[in-house]
């Protein structure tokens, strides 16, 4: 059980642990009969390291400074893009994910971005509805730019049923 946690930038020697967190967090999808998610590769080491060097890869840590969750921020079409957010099941439900989202939004704003994008599953309680409660709104299909259509094409190639996916955007206020 993790009662307290902190957030800091990831270290280079934590990238494999971060991949492990992503795979382990995805076990949640087993409960709702979405087993294809479990078969997907986690974020590549190269992408993790690129984000880490930019200061856009954070871990939440618990006891002994060990990572129990992470957030990976990249860009899509020039917009900040929350590429992955994962928290170990044994640490879930304690606000770790929410704190990581707040950190991502702060960093995006500090880098001059006005919005944060993400892509997630509709109808999964800890995906689109979770983000909607944290200020993200679904982008209507008709408003997809070329960059957003490319995100969907990539997801289709990776094996996601894209009709169950939704791109969401949060507008960053100056104070939030
Ligand atoms: C999404 C995720 C990062 C949330 O992390 P977390 O630290 O548990 O998040 P918080 O403690 O801030 O909030 C927990 C939320 O998840 C919801 N939740 C957690 N487990 C749930 C479950 N089994 N069923 C339904 N909702 C669940 C809670 O209702 C709560 O939402 P609310 O506060 O809006 O009601 C985590 O569940 C996870 O890693 N999931 C697997 C990977 C994933 O789907 N990532 C996001 C998609 S890109």
Q: What pLDDT digit, counting tens, does each position of 56-92 carry? A: 999 999 989 999 999 999 999 999 999 999 999 999 9
Give residue 125 CA to ligand 1 midpoint distance, Å.
7
Mean pLDDT along residues 92-121: 98
By three-state DSSP, how is residue 146 classified? helix
For the cut 60, the answer to whether the pLDDT of residue 1 exceeds it is no
Helix, strand, coil percent values for the chain (each to nearest 5) = 45, 25, 30
Q: What's the confidence (pLDDT) of residue 176? A: 54
Q: Whose CA is nearest to atom 44 of ligand 1?
A: 127
Give residue 93 CA to ligand 1 midpoint distance, Å.
6
- Give residue 96's pLDDT band: very low, low, confident or very high (50, 70, 90): very high
Whole-model pTM: value is 0.95
Q: Is 76 in the pocket of ligand 1 (CB under 6 A)?
A: no
Q: Is 125 in the pocket of ligand 1 (CB under 6 A)?
A: yes
For the cut 90, the answer to whether the pLDDT of residue 53 exceeds it is yes
**Edge-to-edge order in the sheet of strand 6-9:** 6-9, 57-61, 67-76, 79-87, 115-121, 165-171, 137-138
E-strand stretches of the chain: 6-9, 57-61, 67-76, 79-87, 115-121, 137-138, 165-171
Q: What's the confidence (pLDDT) of residue 80? A: 98
């Amino acid at each position: 059980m993790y009662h307290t946690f902190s957030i800091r930038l990831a270290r280079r020697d934590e990238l494999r642990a971060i991949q492990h967190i992503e795979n382990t967090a995805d076990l949640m999808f087993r409960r709702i009969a979405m087993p294809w998610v479990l078969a997907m590769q986690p974020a590549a080491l190269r992408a993790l390291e690129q984000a880490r060097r930019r200061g856009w890869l954070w871990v939440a840590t618990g006891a002994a400074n060990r990572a129990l969750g992470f957030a990976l921020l990249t860009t899509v079409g020039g917009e900040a893009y929350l590429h992955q957010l994962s928290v170990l099941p044994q640490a879930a439900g304690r606000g770790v994910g929410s704190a990581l989202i707040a950190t991502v939004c702060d960093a995006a704003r500090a880098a001059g971005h006005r919005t944060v994008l993400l892509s997630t599953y509709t109808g999964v309680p800890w995906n689109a509805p979770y983000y909607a409660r944290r200020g993200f709104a679904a982008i209507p299909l008709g408003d997809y730019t070329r960059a957003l259509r490319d995100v969907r094409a990539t997801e289709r190639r990776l094996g996601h049923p894209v009709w169950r996916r939704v791109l969401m955007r949060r507008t960053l206020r100056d104070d939030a």
